[in-house]
Structure 1
C-alpha cells in the first residue's frame, strides 16, 4: 500500500495548512475548481437577494383586493390597483385582465411563464456547479495519482517528497470538489423550492380568477 510508506508527519501537515497552501498543493486542477466555485457563489448570492426582494415585495392583500374588484365587475379598478403593486401575482393578474378581450387564459399563461422564468434563473448554473465540481475533483485525483506512480518508478527514498505531493494533490482536489458541490446544493434546493412555491401561488391565483369569472357569467346569464 502506498499509504504505508508515506511519512505520516507529512500527511498530517495537510490538516494544518492555510487555504492558500492547500490551493497550491492541490495542483493545476484547483484553478477550474476555483472558477466553478466563483460562479456558484456569485449565482447563490444573486439568487438569495432575488428571493429576499420578491418575498419583501409580496402584497397578498392587494391580490385579494384585485379579485374583489373583478368579482364586483370592476375590472378597470383591479387593473389600476395591480399596476401600482410590485407583487408578481398582481403583475400576472394585471397583464391577464388587460388582455382579457383577446384571450385571458393565454395572457395569464404568458405572464406566468415570464415570472416563473425569473424564479428559475441561475438554477442551471448551480446544477452545473453541483455536477462539475466533484468531477473536477475526481480529475484532480487521477492527475495526483498519476504523479504519485510516476515518482515511484525511481528511487522511493529520493522520490518520497514527490509521492506525498501527488497523494496530497489527489486528496485536496477531491475534497475541494465535494465541498463546492455540497455548498452549491443548498441554494440550488432552496431556489427549486421557491420556484415550486411560486407555481402553486400562481395556480391558486388562476383558480380563484376562473371561479370568480364563472360566477360572474352565471349571474349575468
Structure 2
C-alpha cells in the first residue's frame, strides 16, 4: 500500500504536466491494445484446421477471395492483389501514427515539466540567498518526476510502435509470398488446360 502512496505523492509533485502526460499514456495504451487485438484476430498465422476457419476479415482470406474469379486475366488479378495489399497495410497500421507522435511528444512534455519545476525552484531563491529550501527541493522533484514519466511513456510507445512496424513488414512479405504462390498455381492450371494466361 505504501508503494501506491509514494506513486500518488510523485504524481502530485509532477505538477500540471502530469495531466497531459496521463492522457498520452492512456492513448498509447489504447492504441497498443487495439492493435494487438486486431493483429491477433485478423493477421495471426493459421495452421492446420484453423486455416480453414479464418474469420471473414482475415488478411489471407481477403487475398484468397481475389483468386475465386474464374477466367479473369492474370494482370487483373495481380492488380487486384496489389490494391488489396495496400488496403490491408492501411487497415493494419491504423493508429500507429499516434504511437509515433507520443514517442516524440511525451519526452517534450516531460522536459516542459522540468523547465516549469526549475523555474519554480529559482523563483524561491531570493536576492538574499536561499529563502525556502523545502520549496526549492519540491520544484526540483517536480522537474524530475515529469521527466521520468515522459520518458517511461515514450519508451513504452516506442517499443509498441517498433513491434507493430516490424510485424507489418513481415505481414507484407507473407502476403506477397502467398499471392505469388496462388498466382503461380493459377498460371500452371491455365497452361495445363490450354487457356490463355
> TM-score, normalised on structure 1?
0.74
User: 2 CA distance for matches of 1:208 and 1:169?
Assistant: 59
Partner residue of 2:6?
18
Does the aligned pair in 2 maintain the 1:148–1:166 contact within 8 Å?
yes
Partner residue of 1:40?
28
Does the aligned pair in 1 maintain the 2:14–2:142 contact within 8 Å?
yes
- SS, match of residue 121 in structure 1: coil
Which of the residues 124, 127, 141 maps onto 1:168? 141
User: 1 CA distance for matches of 2:6 and 2:81?
Assistant: 54
How much has 1:184 moved relative to structure 2?
1.5
- SS, match of residue 58 in structure 1: coil
How much has 1:153 moved relative to structure 2?
2.4
Partner residue of 1:128?
101
Give the 3 Å change call, closer, same or farther, for CA 117–59 of structure 1 in structure 2. Answer: farther
Partner residue of 1:141?
114
How much has 1:17 moved relative to structure 2?
5.6
How many residues are treated as equivalent by the alignment? 190
User: 2 CA distance for matches of 1:83 and 1:100?
Assistant: 25
- SS, match of residue 164 in structure 1: helix
Alignment of 1:175-186 (within 5 A): 175-186=148-159
Q: Larger C-alpha radius of gyration, 1 or 2?
A: 1
What are structure 1's unaligned runs of at least 5 residues? 1-14, 64-80
Does the aligned pair in 1 maintain the 2:121–2:140 contact within 8 Å?
yes
RMSD, matched Cα = 2.9
Give the 3 Å change call, closer, same or farther, for CA 134–113 of structure 1 in structure 2. Answer: same
How much has 1:173 moved relative to structure 2?
0.5
How much has 1:200 moved relative to structure 2?
0.8
CA offset digits 1:107-165 (Å, max 9, x no partner)? 11121122222221121111111111111111111111111111112554532122111
> TM-score, normalised on structure 2?
0.82
Partner residue of 1:212?
185
